[in-house]
Amino acid sequence: MKGCTLYRGHARFESADTVRVGDDLLTAPKIFLNTGGRASVPDLPGVHDIPYLTNSSMMDLDVLPSHLIVVGGSYISLEFAQMFRRFGSEVTVIEKAPRLIGREDEDTSAAIQSILENEGITVHVGANDIAFARKGNEIAVTFSAGKPPAVGSHVLLALGRTPNTDDLGLDKAGVKVDQRGYIVVDDRLRSSVPGIWAMGDCNGKGAFTHTSYNDYEIVAANLLDNDPRKVSDRIEAYALYIDPPLGRCGMTEAAVKKSGRRALVGQRPMTRVGRAIEKGETQGFMKILADADTGEILGCSVLGPGGDEAIHCVLDLMYAKAPISTLARATHIHPNVSELLPTIAQELKPLT
């Protein structure tokens, strides 16, 4: 690319405007960090005595595990669990929290666990005292006193992410990080040091490709277009790519209740959705939340076929600041998963 020079190596700050890459010393008035993150490996008993896998090394696996044990019950772990179950592996998921994907509402967690168990995946939640040991050519994972260990051929650790900030020399630049190692940024992604910005997974403002790209858009808009875009303008939205997928935007039901605001809720099971019935994929449901006083759309969950696409019907209205009545009066195409969203919006009830 014209005007672009690529240096391959490990970059480390030597001062607030100087970075060393090998023998090269680079100085610039503006520096942008987008160093990403990596899988966290907690210091659990025996973990360093076994050949564990992470989301990265999992992609290099050239054999089919006879029994894959997944430690962790969140997004990456569940996607790999279902994937390898469908490849033909026996799969066990072990999660220390009381339920899977704890940031979701309880009904969502329960529905997803049911989907996985219906495919033959064994799920253990509320697991404590997790430890690892070799057992011949296999790996034993012990947990929760009194329960038999899970013994498998491979172990995948999916226990969160760690930002790649610990070896950048940030202290020499004076860049502040929080207690988890994320670079502290303001609403326009400026770090504590003038002239240094942080984008993507390393700033703790999002852990998705789409949020990383939006970080770039925010920085570019402010620097190049005098457009004061902000991180706080972004509505939380993401998908869990199991089958059927979960599409999520805005607040959960639990978050709405915690906020103390009066709210309305509407819900429909996929057994009431024509497209889902036609496809024979009726697991899951749709749920919409709205402010009872203003009509503001607060959040939406779509767990079912096409949920990762249908969610945008609601997400775009939220960005447009359109009230729930706009969705209620919309005419959606039949037969489609999203055609039930206006129906749900017409029949909201008080959230209790």
Q: Which residues are catalytic?
A: 334
Contact residues for 136 (Cβ-Cβ < 8 A; gap 6+)? none
Q: Left, alpha or beta for 250 (phi > 0: left; psi -120 to 50: alpha)?
A: left
CA distance 265 to 285: 13
Helix (H) or strand (E) holding 83: helix 75-87
**Which segments of 174-297 does DSSP mark as H helices, in order?**
209-224, 253-259, 274-279
User: CB–CB of 138/18 below 8 Å?
Assistant: no
CA-based diameter of the chain, in Å?
A: 66
CB atoms near residue 349 (< 10 Å) = 9
Contact residues for 174 (Cβ-Cβ < 8 A; gap 6+)? 16, 192, 193
Contact residues for 97 (Cβ-Cβ < 8 A; gap 6+)? 73, 125, 126
| DSSP at 63 | S
Rg of the chain, C-alpha, whole Å: 23
Structure tokens at 312: 């945008």
CA distance 210 to 230: 15
Torsion of CA 199, 204, 210, 214, to 10 degrees: -40
- Count the helices and strands in the chain (H runs, E runs): 10, 20
User: CB–CB of 255/281 below 8 Å?
Assistant: no
**Is residue 292 classed as helix, strand or coil in its secondary structure?**
coil
Closest to 211 in 3D by CA, of 202, 219, 200: 200
CA distance 59 to 96: 25
